[in-house]
Structure 1
Amino acid sequence: MILSIARDNPEETAPENCRYDAGIVISSEYYVDDDFSEDQLVGGQYAIYKVKHTAEEIQKAWATIFSGLLEEGYEVDPRPIFERYYGDNNEIDYCDICVPITLKK
C-alpha cells in the first residue's frame, strides 16, 4: 500500500515550494535505516472517499469533498489529509482520499 501526503496547498503555495511525502506501510518490527525517515499516522475518525485513479476523478473529488463534509456537519481537523493507493497487477486502479474529521460543535 502506498500513502501520500501533500504538505502544502497548491492554491496558496508556489508549485516549486510545494512539499509532498510518499510512503509505504511497514510493520512496527521493520528496521528503517538512516537513508529513510519513519513516521506514524495519528488515529481517529476519517472520511474516506474511494476514487477511480484518473486525474479527472481525483480533481472532481477534491473539488467536492470539503463542501460535502460541511453539509453533513463535519469539520476537517488538523491531522494530515492523505491519499492511499492500491490496485492489482502493479496497476493502481483506485485511491482513497482520507480526510480527518470531527463533528461540528
Structure 2
Amino acid sequence: MKINSTEIKNLEPIKTIAISHIGDYAGIAGAFEKLAAWAGANNLWAASPKMAGVYHDDPMHTPVEKLRSEACLENVSGIEPGKGMQDYTISGGKYFVMQVEVTMSEYGEAWQKVSSAFNDKGYEYDMRDHYELYVSCAGDTQDADAPWIVNLCIPMK
C-alpha cells in the first residue's frame, strides 16, 4: 500500500446509480460486477463515469451481517436505474481525502490508515457519506492483484 497524498477538499455531490449490499464490506465486489456488466450492456463506459463504494456503518461497532454499503456508478447519461438498482447521490461538502495505491487485499489497511490520520489530526467526523472513489487502475482491471489508485473520503465538520 502506498499513500500518494492527504488533503482537505470541498467535494461536489455525485449523482449515481447504486446497488445496495448488506454484509461484510469485502462482499460488495459482486454488486460492483453486476453494476459494471449493466453499464457495459448499456454502453455507459464511453462517457467515463466514476465508480465509488459508499460505506454507511462503522465495522468496529456494527455486526458484520448488518453492515450497509452501496456500489455506485456515476450517472453521467441520465439513464434510469436497472432492476435491483436505485438512484443514489453521494454527499458533497468538506472531506478529508487520502489518495492511496492499493490492491484488493489492502483496502482494510488503507481505511485504518486514513482513519488514524484523521483522528491524529483531531478532526471531527460528520454524518455524511464515507466513500472510496476509484481514480484508475495501474494494471489489468481483471487482475485481482492489480493496484488501484483510490481516494478515500471521510466527511468532516
Show structure 1 runs of 5+ residues with no match: none
Per the alignment, in what secondary structure is the counterpart of residue 96 of structure 1? Answer: strand
Show structure 2 runs of 5+ residues with no match: 1-49, 142-146
Pair 9,69 (structure 1): closer, same or farther in 2 beyond 3 Å = closer
Match of 1:53 in 2: 102
TM-score, with normalisation over the residues of structure 1?
A: 0.75
Match of 1:31 in 2: 79
Between Structure 1 and Structure 2, which shows a larger proportion of strand residues? 2
Cα distance in 2 for partners of 1:61, 1:79 equals: 20
Q: CA RMSD in A?
A: 2.3
Pair 101,24 (structure 1): closer, same or farther in 2 beyond 3 Å = same
Between Structure 1 and Structure 2, which shows a larger proportion of helix residues? 2
Pair 19,95 (structure 1): closer, same or farther in 2 beyond 3 Å = same
Per the alignment, in what secondary structure is the counterpart of residue 75 of structure 1? Answer: coil
- Number of equivalences: 100
- CA shift, 1:4, in A, is 0.6
Cα distance in 2 for partners of 1:42, 1:100 equals: 9
Cα distance in 2 for partners of 1:87, 1:50 equals: 11
TM-score, with normalisation over the residues of structure 2?
A: 0.54
Does 63-72 or 47-56 show the bigger shift? Answer: 63-72
Identity %: 24
Kindly indicate whether the alpha-carbon contact (under 8 Å) linking 2:102 and 2:110 is maintained by their aligned counterparts in 1.
Answer: no
Match of 2:62 in 1: 13
Cα distance in 2 for partners of 1:97, 1:73 equals: 18
Pair 18,45 (structure 1): closer, same or farther in 2 beyond 3 Å = same
Pair 70,11 (structure 1): closer, same or farther in 2 beyond 3 Å = closer
Structure 1 residue 97 and structure 2 residue 152: aligned? yes
Structure 1 residue 66 and structure 2 residue 115: aligned? yes
- CA shift, 1:79, in A, is 0.3
Pair 10,50 (structure 1): closer, same or farther in 2 beyond 3 Å = same
- CA shift, 1:50, in A, is 1.1
Structure 1 residue 87 and structure 2 residue 136: aligned? yes
